[in-house]
Amino acid sequence: MQQAIVRAGIAICYRVEPMPVALRPALKQDFDYCRRLYFGEMQWIIDELHLDPAAHKISFQQQWNPTQVRIFVVDGVDVGWVQTVTENDELFVAQMFVDRPFQRRGIGTEVMKWLIGEAARANQAVRLAVVKINPARRLYERLGFQVTHEDDRKFYMKRDAGSPLG
């Protein structure tokens, strides 16, 4: 992955190699870690869209299911998590978060590629929803996801099983 830093009008390009990421099943004791990451990354969206924080706390507690969650590990450190569920022969990525100090290092890309590969082996499409103001949409588009429909807050995206990796 190529990145650029602009300093004094000069772009300095450098190459960032993806970090080796392992995924492990979540344990019940991972709930607090996942909740911290969720609200750490979602708070600006909750604020920006004037959503009800209390409702989000209740919703998170009801929807977080350790049997559907995998924790990302880099060099023995937990750096993020993803929750997926198979619905109607499709893999649905319900939520994915990378801890802020580890963002922009290719971890989200590597995890999404892994999920796409897992779904492809099962001949499944991959679906997800992304809040319209979330910059992660660009990642999903680069990986071949296309918007299927939208509502007032979210884009609903899908990547067909046979699609080449974008």
C-alpha 70, offset from chain centre: 12
Inside any domain, residue 9: no
For residue 2, is pLDDT > 50? no
Domain membership flag for residue 92:
yes
Tell me if 73 is assigned to some domain.
yes
List the CATH number of the domain containing 67.
3.40.630.30
pLDDT in tens, 30-66: 999 999 998 888 777 778 778 888 887 888 889 999 9
Residue 111 inside a domain? The answer is yes
Whether 102 is in a domain gets the answer yes
Helix locations, 49-79, DSSP H: 53-63
Kindly state whether residue 125 falls inside one of the protein's structural domains.
yes
Say how far apart CA 77 and CA 32 lie, in whole Å.
16
Amino acid at 33: Y
Q: Encode pLDDT of 119-151 as tens digits.
A: 999 999 999 999 998 888 999 999 999 999 999
Other Cβ atoms less than 10 A from the Cβ of 148: the count is 11
Q: Could you give the number of structural domains in the chain?
A: 1
- For the stretch 58-115, pLDDT in tens is 888 899 999 999 999 999 999 999 999 998 889 999 999 999 888 888 898 999 999 9
Would you say residue 7 lies in a domain? no
Residue-range definition of the domain harbouring residue 66: 19-159
Q: How confident is the model at residue 166 (pLDDT cuts 50, 70, 90)?
A: low
Inside any domain, residue 165:
no
